[in-house]
Amino acid sequence: MARKNGNGEGSRPRERADGRWEARYWVGGKRRSVYGSTRKEAADKLAKAIANNEEPRATFAATNITVREFFAQYDDVVRDTMKRRSLETYRDIARLHLLPAFGNKKLKDLTREHVQRMYSQKRDAGLSAARVRRIHGVLSSALNHAVRWRLLDHNVGREVSPPRVPAPEIRPLNAEEAKRFLAAARGDRYHALYVLGLTTGARIGELGGLFWSDLDLNRRVVRVQRALITGRGGQTFEPPKTPNSRRSIGLSQRAIDALERHRERQRVEGFAVEGDSLVFTNTVGGPINPSHLLCRSFKPLLEWAGLPRNTFHAATRHTFCCLALQQGINARTISLAMGHSSVAFTLSKYALYIPNYGDTAVGLDEALG
């Protein structure tokens, strides 16, 4: 059995969830802790505390800054570290929800009760559980920085219970519906985009960010290297959603045929079809606007095909994954094509679409005779 540390003996520093390093020691039969912003700082404080047999100094200095003043400091940092869409979401949530509720309150006086009450008020006002949980994520992330900067000794967001958000139901197209959709889109300007979405699982921003140099039709591969981001500040090209989203995906013959027809159409219209030129453009050669594409092309096509209203993500990305699993394609291959973090993540979302997955009936009938 491992021996319990005695008085004056300390533990190795460990990193806490709030980013600080903590080392513990015993003195007078009571456990004490020292904190540091780095492992070395915590270890040095531990050695000094043990040597002097003294209480560690406080690791934060309470100030009188308001929540509004803190968020101004926080904004100076995150505007250069967050992705554009994340930054816009954070600023919207701070402006519409957090600052009206807490802006004039001193940061050190913010309590669990204040935050929990605000969440309840937002729910009573009609905000969805998902939206309130997003508010919680923004607040908790900001308060982590306040702890790291030693403006607070702990993050009150960790003491709050945000509303539970049920997992969204996946509603992909089945094989017959997918065929009807592509048939309806046959003469559409973005037919190749829909084919590529259904046969590679690429996101709409990733499709909008494709250059012709990302396609190798001879080797039947497309390389996803960037995403088109559309927001209030215009359109920009940024790295894909996650590190795993930068990937290569095999192209089906259907996709190659559609891309070749699309390339010829673009050439006839006078647009460049090689190098770092966009594969999918609007009618004047600029980047596509996802909102316009959905309203003017995608949704009318669903209606013409006699299909229920659906999202682009479900009709293409979800459908690709589910149809691939039903065709017996290896789950790891599909996970890599989707850009997921792991095969386990892929299976956790789509396992019920694997034929006979979890079906133990036949095996048990045989075993029990």
Q: Which residue blocks in the chain are alpha helix, DSSP H?
A: 39-52, 67-78, 84-93, 99-102, 112-124, 129-148, 175-184, 191-200, 204-208, 253-268, 290-293, 299-304, 312-313, 319-326, 331-338, 343-350, 361-367
pLDDT at 358: 65
- What is the rounded distance in angstroms from the CA atom of residue 78 to the CA atom of residue 118? 24
CATH 1.10.443.10 location in the chain:
175-353
- What is the rounded distance in angstroms from the CA atom of residue 149 to the CA atom of residue 155? 12
Question: Which numeric CATH code is attached to 67-159?
Answer: 1.10.150.130
- In this prediction the pTM is 0.72
pLDDT at 57: 46
pLDDT at 42: 85
Distances (CA, A) of 284 to 114, 266, 272, 288, 331: 52, 11, 12, 10, 40
Residue in 209, 275, 268, 255 with CA at minimum distance from that of residue 236: 209
pLDDT at 28: 56
Domain topology for 175-353:
hpI Integrase; Chain A (1.10.443)
- Write out the chain's pLDDT in tens, 369 residues: 333 444 344 567 888 877 888 888 776 556 778 888 888 888 888 888 777 765 444 455 557 899 999 999 999 888 888 888 888 999 999 999 999 999 999 999 999 999 999 999 999 999 999 999 999 999 999 999 998 888 888 899 999 999 998 877 889 999 999 999 999 999 999 999 999 999 999 999 999 999 999 999 999 999 999 999 988 778 999 998 888 899 999 999 999 999 999 999 999 999 999 999 999 999 999 999 999 999 999 999 999 999 999 999 999 999 999 999 999 999 999 999 999 999 999 998 898 888 777 666 656 666 675
> Which are the contacts of 336, defined by CB distance < 8 A and separation ≥ 6?
247
CATH 1.10.150.130 location in the chain:
67-159
Q: Are 301 and 188 in contact (CB under 8 A)?
A: yes
Annotate 53-77 with b (16+ C-beta within 10 A) or e (fewer): eeebeebbeeeebbbeebbeebeee
Sign of CA dihedral 267, 269, 270, 272: negative
